[in-house]
């Protein structure tokens, strides 16, 4: 990734997608199998539905008429739209039907009297949330609703439409997108008239989490911890007012160095996941972010051999299993109002050749840090 006018942007155009070439023979035994029963806190309510739960999928559209979208094919950038249309994929637990796809569009949600915990997920550059379906679906099967807005300038279709223009400069508008969509979903769940009826009674407003990958992770960190101003002159702390996120997960993200970060008074549990051999976004970017947030309830999962996207889209099965299982446990405990115990460190570090977990204090440091050839594309 690179800094342009203080904003982290990725060196990814004209590069091929990097996939894992090394053969990893050391698996993380029992991680996914144990994740369904892993709640060392003894919390009274399990969020996990019964085995065999399908993933329902519904798309809802929310329009923010107060903010605009830019066209970056012109110099300077010109107005593309006077409003921001946020198509949002909603994944939720649904009844499994024998012979049907595990992901069922328009399926009837499984009833939950108190509503499900909700994770709002932010995708990165030139992709859609569908790229992350294996991870998002794992969260749903563990008992979460997952909502994923498509960002107006960074979604795959718009990157193509703007013919390689630097649409990543829209990243600083995405924290407000996340806040806007979260509020719209909560209103819909609270039976407020909405064009998204699938949300009615679906989520528990007191059990919210944020997660994001790459540029999406940077947007998540800005919404959760930034104390600067967005392009409309609104403080990021104001954007998150009234949204009580209990957990924040940052997957290979970074700070926007033009902004000011600090721990929130609410101290949401923080999990950072990054690989030491990520060739798109250096490990040091997330270590800097992690070290800036001065709170004890934070964890850093350092992957040893994975690259930028494969631990999150499932194409690196070993790293993916660790990420899926660890995040399920992290979210489950956090959204039930608990601070994960030291057992989370042991749990995520079962195979140090694959992943190592750090808790509190400073993030992992290396002398020297690996020098890697930058390779980026969709992420």
Indicate the CATH number for domain 2-46+114-359.
3.40.50.1820
Q: How far apart are CA 82 and CA 64, in angstroms?
A: 9
Pairing of strands 103-105, 116-122: unpaired
The dihedral region occupied by 324, where left means phi > 0, alpha psi between -120 and 50, and beta the remainder, is: alpha
Please identify which residue in the block is written with the tokens 């994001």: 212
Q: Residue 136: CB partners within 8 Å, gap ≥ 6?
A: 91, 121, 129, 146, 148
Q: Evaluate whether 295 touches 270 at the Cβ level (below 8 Å).
A: yes
Residue-range domain boundaries for the chain: 2-46+114-359
Q: Evaluate whether 213 touches 132 at the Cβ level (below 8 Å).
A: yes
H or E segment to which residue 7 belongs: strand 7-9
DSSP state of 132: G
What pLDDT score was predicted for residue 37? 33
Instruction: Find, among 37, 76, 227, 226, the residue nearest to 166 by Cα.
Output: 76
Compute how many other C-beta atoms are within 10 angstroms of the C-beta atom of residue 164: 12
Q: Evaluate whether 334 touches 304 at the Cβ level (below 8 Å).
A: no
**pLDDT tens, per residue, the chain with 379 residues:** 433 333 333 333 322 222 222 222 223 334 433 333 333 333 333 344 556 789 999 999 999 999 999 999 888 999 999 999 999 999 999 988 888 887 999 999 998 999 999 999 999 998 899 999 999 999 999 999 999 999 998 888 788 888 878 888 899 999 999 999 999 999 999 988 889 999 999 999 999 999 999 999 999 999 999 999 999 999 999 999 999 999 999 999 999 888 999 999 889 999 999 999 998 999 999 999 999 999 999 999 999 999 999 999 999 999 999 999 999 999 999 998 898 887 899 999 999 999 999 998 766 664 455 666 556 765 5
Q: How far apart are CA 175 and CA 196, in angstroms?
A: 21
Q: Residue 288: CB partners within 8 Å, gap ≥ 6?
A: 254, 255
Q: Evaluate whether 249 touches 211 at the Cβ level (below 8 Å).
A: yes
Q: What is the model's pTM?
A: 0.85
Gyration radius (Cα) of the chain, Å: 19
The two structure tokens encoding residue 52: 């065999």
């Amino acid at each position: 990734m690179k800094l342009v006018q203080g904003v982290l942007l990725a060196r990814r155009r004209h590069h091929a997608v990097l996939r894992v070439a090394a053969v990893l023979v050391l698996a993380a035994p029992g991680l996914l199998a144990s994740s369904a029963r892993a709640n060392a806190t003894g919390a009274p309510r399990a969020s996990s539905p019964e085995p065999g739960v399908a993933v329902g999928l519904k798309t809802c559209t929310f329009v923010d008429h107060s903010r605009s979208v830019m066209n970056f094919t012109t110099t300077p950038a010109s107005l593309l739209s006077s409003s921001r249309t946020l198509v949002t994929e909603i994944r939720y637990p649904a009844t499994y039907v024998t012979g049907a796809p595990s992901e069922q569009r328009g399926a009837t949600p499984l009833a939950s009297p108190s509503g499900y915990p909700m994770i709002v997920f932010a995708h990165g550059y030139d992709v859609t949330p569908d790229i992350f379906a294996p991870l998002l679906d794992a969260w749903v099967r563990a008992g979460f609703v997952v909502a994923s807005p498509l960002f107006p300038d960074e979604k795959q279709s718009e990157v193509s439409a703007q013919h390689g223009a630097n649409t990543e400069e829209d990243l600083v508008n995405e924290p407000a997108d996340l806040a806007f969509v979260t509020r719209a979903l909560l209103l819909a769940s609270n039976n407020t008239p909405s064009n998204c009826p699938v949300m009615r009674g679906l989520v528990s407003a007191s059990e919210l989490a944020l997660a994001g990958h790459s540029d999406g992770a940077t947007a998540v960190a800005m919404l959760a911890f930034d104390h600067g101003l967005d392009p409309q002159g609104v403080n990021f702390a104001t954007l998150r007012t009234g949204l009580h996120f209990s957990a924040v997960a940052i997957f290979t993200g970074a700070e926007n160095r033009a902004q000011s970060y600090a721990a929130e008074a609410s101290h949401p549990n923080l999990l950072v996941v990054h690989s030491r051999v990520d060739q798109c976004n250096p490990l040091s970017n997330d270590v800097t972010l992690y070290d800036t947030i001065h709170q004890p309830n934070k964890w850093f999962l350092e992957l040893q051999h994975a690259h930028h996207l494969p631990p999150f889209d499932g194409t690196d099965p070993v790293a993916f299993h660790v990420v899926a299982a660890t995040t399920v446990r992290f979210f489950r405990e956090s959204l039930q109002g608990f601070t994960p115990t030291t057992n989370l460190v042991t749990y995520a570090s079962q195979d140090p050749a694959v992943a190592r977990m750090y808790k509190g204090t400073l993030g992992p440091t290396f002398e020297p840090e690996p020098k890697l050839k930058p390779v980026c594309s969709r992420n």
